[in-house]
Amino acid sequence: MDSRHGNLFVGIPEELPTELTSVLHSGVCRVERIVSRGHASPPSFWYDQSEDEFVLVMQGEARLEFADGTQQGMKRGDWCMLPAHKRHRVAWTSPDVDTIWLAVFIDLGPPK
């Protein structure tokens, strides 16, 4: 396989009416760049994913909310490992600066 490369901070449109998700790699691990600008999950929406997710805030600020009512503030450099089926949502992202996330989804399939 040929190597691929890029820059996570380029190619972001000036207007961003919805969150921007770019799949950088897909396979056993899926790597995504997500750009939020004041975006949040709908109030009654919860992510309930079958994969583990490692998420890192590379720029900006955000707040994750979990189904148990706890919240986690995140700023540049903060990361979180979300196990499969850990219900969560994006409660808030900074409206004044792009929040750029790097998300790695890991699906190793059923336990052996």
Tell me the residue range of the domain where 34 lies.
20-106
- Determine the Cα–Cα distance for residues 35 and 39; give it in Å rounded to an integer: 9
- Determine the Cα–Cα distance for residues 59 and 23; give it in Å rounded to an integer: 18
11 domain residue, yes or no = no
Give pLDDT tens digits for 59-108: 999 999 999 999 999 999 999 999 999 999 999 999 999 999 999 999 87
Q: What is the DSSP letter of 31?
A: E
| Closest listed residue to residue 81, CA positions, set 64, 68, 100 | 64
**Token couple for 66:** 């979990």
Burial string for 9-39 (b: 16+ CB within 10 Å, else e) reads eeeeeeeeeebbeeeeeeeeebebbbbbbeb
Q: Looking at residues 5-21, what average pLDDT do you find?
A: 93
Could you give the 3-state DSSP secondary structure of residue 107?
coil
91 domain residue, yes or no = yes
- Determine the Cα–Cα distance for residues 26 and 105; give it in Å rounded to an integer: 9
38 domain residue, yes or no = yes
CATH number at residue 62: 2.60.120.10
Of the two residues 27 and 54, the one the predictor is more confident about is: 54
85 domain residue, yes or no = yes
Give pLDDT tens digits for 31-62: 999 999 999 999 999 999 999 999 999 999 99
For the question of whether the overall pTM of this predicted structure is more than 0.85, the answer is yes
Q: Domain tally for the chain?
A: 1
5 domain residue, yes or no = no
72 domain residue, yes or no = yes
**Token couple for 19:** 């969150």
1 domain residue, yes or no = no
15 domain residue, yes or no = no
